[in-house]
Structure 1
Amino acid sequence: MSHPHTHGHLGVDVPDSRGRTGLDQVGRDLTRNPNVEVENVEVTSDGWHVLRRTTFRYRGRGGEWATQQRETYDRGNGATILLYDLDSRKVLLGRQFRYPVYVNGHEDGMLLETAAGLLDGDSPEDAIRREVEEELGVVVGEVTPVFELFMSPGSVTESIHFFAAPWSANAPVSGGGGVEEEGEEIEAVALDFDEALQMIASGEIQDAKTVLLLQWAALNLPWPAAGGGPHV
């Protein structure tokens, strides 16, 4: 019995699981770096996101050209946000199961994280407002851009837009929990800010984006002194 895709390549000339074709064209027209010439791009997966194997020529500092190959995982770009309440010295995070860390040695795969998600065609600001409402049940207004970072530049193309926004620990929460159809089950967790920082040192918070935003908050936000005294 012949395979239905015998006469084509998924994501190239046959629609993949998301109806996409031409995925092998990404990167072929890159000319921004005169020391890099892309020779070939292969699509090697039919998953929700795209894995590519790219062959390119790279000219080193000595002027000699060499052929190299890299695999890149393209899941789009994303955004994340730290919600903070200066008056109560609290931050709001989410706890959810992450299979990749579970299979890589984490005790139970349950990570404490800042709200985050893919842009999915929205602006970073609109995307993070959507995600924080879906995941934590909080509606935020103005958000403060913090930085834009590549989290795993050796293999993942994704850049993440980091934001922060005030939140009231006394505000009612409605909804949240994530998108059930996508298997998300997210618990909103309000933490004392100093406790959250200690959890980085103890290894209880291991998510990179969350660590970055908590440390940014320690350096840049006007936290009042613990116990209600004046902020130094």
Structure 2
Amino acid sequence: MTSEPGEGDDARLSDAQLRALILGRDGQGAARLAFWQAATGGLAAPDAALERQLATDILATMGQVPPERLRARRGPMLARAASALRASAALSPAGLRHAAAPGDVAISHLSHDFNGFFAVESLTLDHRRFDGATLGPVRREVFVACDAVTVLPWDPVRDRVLLVEQMRVGPLARGAANPWQLEAVAGRVDAGETPEQAARREAREEAGLTLGRLVQVAAYYPSPGAVSEFLWSYVAPVDLPDGRAGIHGLAEEAEDIRGHLLPFDKALELVASGEIANAPLILTLFWLAGQRDTLRAALI
């Protein structure tokens, strides 16, 4: 077996699958190896599966994105690679919808138009139609984001919730007069952690809360027509005495987050008035409206 220049010093290539992915048999192994090593800076991912997925994502950008840009965005890229692994491993029930089969979607071209904290990709694809014919080629653009969580702290004794408020660039970019939003605690799922662990971490960072039980509300794509982001939403029964809300957030992430304690019914009033205009929070509040008596009976 011949070696490519530079591979002998890289312990990561002891993984045979990773080695085959990068070096291949097409004579381009040296170029792929150099690009991958430059993009990763020689740093190893937390586990072998994540290393392979990250390498797949990195090599897909070769010739389109400079390796130093990828290296500077290692954290978001690891999170997106972990999201891809979770997506491929997740159950995909198809009792009513079409059960996807190999070949139902064929991507003929993929371009990486932007790669930063988020990414934007353009795809040219064909896909199976419901009548059995093929639709395409069609061009689609997708905003690529990693998996994320939301968690609504709820006090079952006082029947109050804790909301967080912060300025959001989405409404700002749309042209909203007031870009400050009322939300549930939220954040991305980092590589190496579960959605539940991410929810607990974000509650500490954004609200100063240590959570116990988490009740899953739903797991879903909030905007699948153009965005890859997948959310897990939770309710967290927790003690919320007067004075529990405050100003939190991580300085290194430029966060400025204010907490609000309010009765549950008041939160529903804010949905009706339009002051709460955040989809995951609305979904969670409506779910809790139907479940809180049952939850309270089980908890108190």
Corresponding position: 1:119 with 2:189: yes
- Give the structure with the higher percent helix: 2
Structure 2 vs 1, CA of residues 49 and 15 (structure 1 numbering), >3 Å: closer, same or farther? same
Structure with more contact order per residue of length (Cα contacts < 8 Å, sep ≥ 6): 1
Please state how far the C-alpha of 1:127 moved relative to its aligned partner.
0.4
Per the alignment, residue 213 of structure 1 pairs with: 284
Please state how far the C-alpha of 1:218 moved relative to its aligned partner.
0.3
- Give the structure with the higher percent strand: 1
Q: Secondary structure at the match of 1:211?
A: helix
Contact (CA 8 Å) 1:136, 1:176: kept in 2 or not? yes
Among residues 149, 166, 170, which one is paired with 1:96 in the alignment? 166
Q: Which amino acid aligns with 2:143?
A: Y
Q: Which amino acid aligns with 2:200?
A: R
- The Cα offsets for residues 33-58 of structure 1, whole Å up to 9 and x where unpaired, read as 53211111110003211111111112
Structure 2 vs 1, CA of residues 15 and 111 (structure 1 numbering), >3 Å: closer, same or farther? closer
In 1, Cα distance between the equivalents of 2:171 and 2:161?
23
Per the alignment, residue 113 of structure 2 pairs with: 44
- The Cα offsets for residues 136-174 of structure 1, whole Å up to 9 and x where unpaired, read as 011001211121010010111111011111121228759
Contact (CA 8 Å) 2:245, 2:259: kept in 1 or not? no
Q: Which amino acid aligns with 2:117?
A: W
Among residues 208, 219, 234, which one is paired with 1:163 in the alignment? 234
* More moved, 201-210 vs 95-104: 95-104
- The Cα offsets for residues 25-77 of structure 1, whole Å up to 9 and x where unpaired, read as xx9xx984532111111100032111111111123234144201111111100
* More moved, 44-53 vs 111-120: 44-53
Contact (CA 8 Å) 1:138, 1:176: kept in 2 or not? no
Q: Which amino acid aligns with 2:166?
A: Q
In 2, Cα distance between the equivalents of 1:130 and 1:37?
38
Please state how far the C-alpha of 1:9 moved relative to its aligned partner.
2.5
Structure 2 vs 1, CA of residues 86 and 182 (structure 1 numbering), >3 Å: closer, same or farther? same
Structure 2 vs 1, CA of residues 189 and 50 (structure 1 numbering), >3 Å: closer, same or farther? same
- The Cα offsets for residues 3-43 of structure 1, whole Å up to 9 and x where unpaired, read as xxxx94216x665232569x9xxx9xx98453211111110
Q: Which amino acid aligns with 1:53?
A: S
Q: Secondary structure at the match of 2:111?
A: strand
Q: Which amino acid aligns with 2:128?
A: R
In 1, Cα distance between the equivalents of 2:135 and 2:224?
22
In 2, Cα distance between the equivalents of 1:82 and 1:174?
13
Per the alignment, residue 230 of structure 1 pairs with: none
State the TM-score, normalized to the length of structure 1: 0.82
Among residues 254, 264, 284, which one is paired with 1:193 in the alignment? 264
Q: How many residues align?
A: 211
Q: Secondary structure at the match of 1:145?
A: strand
In 2, Cα distance between the equivalents of 1:160 and 1:138?
21
Per the alignment, residue 4 of structure 1 pairs with: none
Per the alignment, residue 9 of structure 1 pairs with: 64
5 Å matches for 1:38-187?
38-62=107-131, 63-121=133-191, 122-170=193-241, 173=244, 177-187=248-258
In 1, Cα distance between the equivalents of 2:68 and 2:138?
28
Structure 2: 5+ residue runs without aligned partners? 1-61, 89-99, 296-300
In 1, Cα distance between the equivalents of 2:231 and 2:184?
12
Structure 1: 5+ residue runs without aligned partners? 1-6, 225-232
Runs of 4 or more above 4 Å deviation: 30-33, 171-176
Corresponding position: 1:18 with 2:18: no
